[in-house]
Structure 1
């Protein structure tokens, strides 16, 4: 198995429960709490700018409306992506991937970049996110880890930037996981933690791949997974994991 340069804990969507997801404020909160790695979602605007957003539509996490795929980057500039989380975050914008990538590099935050294509934009999103990630982290000792539920997007990312590590995200178990990972030349399998058993973790590790688990908000579960050999978990509970010592365990 390849050496693993990433820490055990990743701050999910930046700030977990402590800040609006997929914002610079979230990345800053992760750094404030001592996290060495963040996870966030990237998709494309209508004019092919990479921005951070989880959903295909704007309503849940911003005061905007409609599908992201229909919005040009300029149309997002006046949208508030922070107020829903609290008045202290009012005015927080939907960030460009370039801004977050620069922040991570400057602050030595490692990153898991989840490629989150809007429907029908899988190839373009995989290609452009990988291209930008390679540019933003050029010359850095540890590159970002790219992941996606979209196998098609990951294939496009690998074609665009084959030197960047990739992991396949799954929310149900695939019996052909090993063949899929081999085709991608992936380094990791990212699973809903509820799918994992000690035997499954052993099998993936014995095949030469790392296992990552989402979204783990219970301290005992995080430690159990680590004991099984899981290489990393994504958590919303930044404070709890820090205060209970999981953050300091590697």
Structure 2
């Protein structure tokens, strides 16, 4: 299972999410797949952040889409509500910085989630122009992922990028829009699995997220899942190591 786990926003259970700190700690443990979220600043700098605002990350109401990248320097990505002040001073990270870090781990696959909020604010073309130059010569295997199939289609057609949909419903996997993309993988929340279905019923290899228990991961893999995404990458990897000793 070791090579089948995706670190969801880095080692999120232990460190602030979407930070170089949390990502590097996951890599040092041997994570072979990393997932990150991207929002754009007002001057079109791709920043690692799940939300539009810095409320959770920095206890600030600042909207990333409405501020310049330089405005972020005074804010810390430390998640005070969840982690207290122990990571105060951790900087927000950019996609460019993340790609530089990952280059030292060339066998690690990066999944770059483009957030729908940024696409709505700036438009698909702006998102493409901000992201494409950074990833077109990426040293790592990677995929652009998103809930927006329109955005994925643009990246596939204009940039030749490997694109992976994040499903909004189980039925969407069988839709014509997804079929057009012919994705090598699809991401799916475990809560979307119908009671009478298993991962093997999907028409594409699947990665399931919101999985933090080794036994559930093993079950999903045995039922046909290709990959498992988890916030608890360290705990899951350590549990596997313990089981093998």
Q: Which of 145, 148, 154 in structure 2 is aligned with 1:156?
A: 154
Aligned: 1:34 with 2:25: no
Deviations, residues 160-191 of structure 1 (Å, cap 9, x unaligned): 321x2111102322356342222223211111
Aligned: 1:226 with 2:221: yes
Deviations, residues 205-229 of structure 1 (Å, cap 9, x unaligned): xx4x211111111211101110012
Tell me how far apart the structure 2 counterparts of residues 179 and 235 of structure 1 sit (CA, whole Å): 29
Tell me how far apart the structure 2 counterparts of residues 86 and 58 of structure 1 sit (CA, whole Å): 15
State the shift of 1:122 in Å: 4.5
List runs of 5+ in structure 1 lacking aligned partners. 1-5
Tell me how far apart the structure 1 counterparts of residues 183 and 22 of structure 2 sit (CA, whole Å): 28
Tell me how far apart the structure 2 counterparts of residues 59 and 171 of structure 1 sit (CA, whole Å): 25
- Partner of residue 167, structure 1: 164
- Partner of residue 147, structure 1: 145
**3-state secondary structure, aligned to 2:113:** strand
TM score, norm. by length of structure 2: 0.86
Contact 1:83 1:92 (8 Å CA) reproduced: no
Cα gap change, 1:223 to 1:122, in 2 (>3 Å): farther
- Partner of residue 114, structure 1: 113
Deviations, residues 104-142 of structure 1 (Å, cap 9, x unaligned): 11233321111114233350224532442223x1xx3x5
Number of matched residues? 236
List runs of 5+ in structure 2 lacking aligned partners. none
Deviations, residues 12-36 of structure 1 (Å, cap 9, x unaligned): 1011211000110111110232212
Tell me how far apart the structure 1 counterparts of residues 70 and 97 of structure 2 sit (CA, whole Å): 15
Which region of structure 1 is more displaced relative to structure 2, 147-156 or 96-105?
A: 147-156
Tell me how far apart the structure 1 counterparts of residues 62 and 6 of structure 2 sit (CA, whole Å): 30
Cα gap change, 1:247 to 1:186, in 2 (>3 Å): farther
Q: Which runs of 4+ in 1 moved over 6 A?
A: 246-249
State the shift of 1:83 in Å: 5.7
Contact 2:5 2:233 (8 Å CA) reproduced: no
Trace 1:54-203 onto structure 2 (pairs within 5 A): 54-82=50-78, 84=80, 85-108=83-106, 109-117=108-116, 118=118, 119-123=120-124, 124-135=126-137, 137=138, 140=139, 142-162=140-160, 164-175=161-172, 177-196=174-193, 199-203=197-201
